[in-house]
Structure formats: structure tokens, C-alpha cells
Amino acid sequence: MTLGERLKEARKLKGFTQMEAASKLGITNGALSGYERNYRDPDTEMLKKLANLYEVSTEWLLGNNTVKKQFSDKDENDIARRVEKLRHDLQHSEGLAFDGEPMSEEAKESLLEAMEFGVRLAKKNNKKFIPKKYRTDEE
């Protein structure tokens, strides 16, 4: 499967039209079409943006199917539950402010993304401290 085919598949799985995805990425529909048809290759920064938007790894987009999963299914479920709790708390909190100004929905979403990154990083770093004799093959 080519990069373009993977981009198209990932976009469709997320339910985006080409125009919606291009708008979210800050590029033209023609540029995204070029990537999906393998007429153009995205630069490194655009590849990262595409992976983030479609919630896939850059390794998967590039065709490296041998990439080991970073987290087990149980860990992914734990992370999803924590992020959902954080989302609920953010949406139901009053008086949230950043730099003295009320937080916009976009700012709350950015904060949530940063918090998810933090949860994932903590989970990953915590695994390093589990004694080897207690680790499973997935860890």
C-alpha cells in the first residue's frame, strides 16, 4: 500500500471529506489530492500533521507495518478513560482562565490534547520502572 493510499484510507476512516481534511490541515484541496494520488510527497511537518489529524503513526503512513504497538489494548483503554474524565472535568468546570482570560473551546481542546500527551508519556515512563521479572511481553 502506498503513502497516498494510506492517507486516503485514514481520512475516510475518520469520516473527513478531502475538503474538510485540507481545511483542518491549512492546505489546499489540490495539495491533499496530490498527496493521496502520489503526485506529491508531504514534507516532514505535514506528515506529522496528517498523522495527528488521522490519529495514526507516521510509521504506519510510511508503510512500516512492523512497528510494535507502544501500548497494550488495556493501556489504551486506561488512557481513553482518563482522557474522557479529563474532558468531562474541563467541560463542566466554571471559571477556567488562561492568562487572565476565559478559556475558549479551542483552548480547552488544546489543553486536553496536551494532557493526553502527558498521560501517555507518564504511562510509557512508568513502564520503565516495572521490574523485568514482572513485565509481560507487551511491556
pLDDT at 139 > cutoff 60: no
Backbone angles phi, psi at 22, to 5 degrees: -60, -40
Choice between 114 and 67, residue whose per-residue pLDDT is larger: 114
Whether residues 7 and 56 share a domain: the answer is: yes
Q: Is residue 139 part of a domain?
A: no
CATH number, position 37: 1.10.260.40
Whether residues 79 and 128 share a domain: the answer is: yes
**Quick check: 35 and 7 in contact, CB under 8 A?**
yes
Whether residues 78 and 39 share a domain: the answer is: no
* DSSP, res 67: P
What span, in angstroms and rounded, lies between the C-alpha atoms of 7 and 42?
11
Domain of 33, in residue numbers? 3-61
Whether residues 118 and 79 share a domain: the answer is: yes
Whether residues 11 and 53 share a domain: the answer is: yes
Q: Is residue 102 part of a domain?
A: yes
| Residue in this structure with the C-alpha cell 474524565, named with its chain if needed | 85
Q: Grid coordinates standing for 87?
A: 474532558
Question: Dihedral of CA 107/113/119/122: which sign?
Answer: negative
What span, in angstroms and rounded, lies between the C-alpha atoms of 76 and 129?
19
Residue 59 CB partners (closer than 8 Å, separation 6+): 67
What pLDDT is stored for residue 109 in this prediction? Answer: 84
Give the pLDDT band (50/70/90) at residue 134: low
What pLDDT is stored for residue 116 in this prediction? Answer: 86
Positions of E strands within 53-122? 97-98, 101-102
What pLDDT is stored for residue 137 in this prediction? Answer: 53
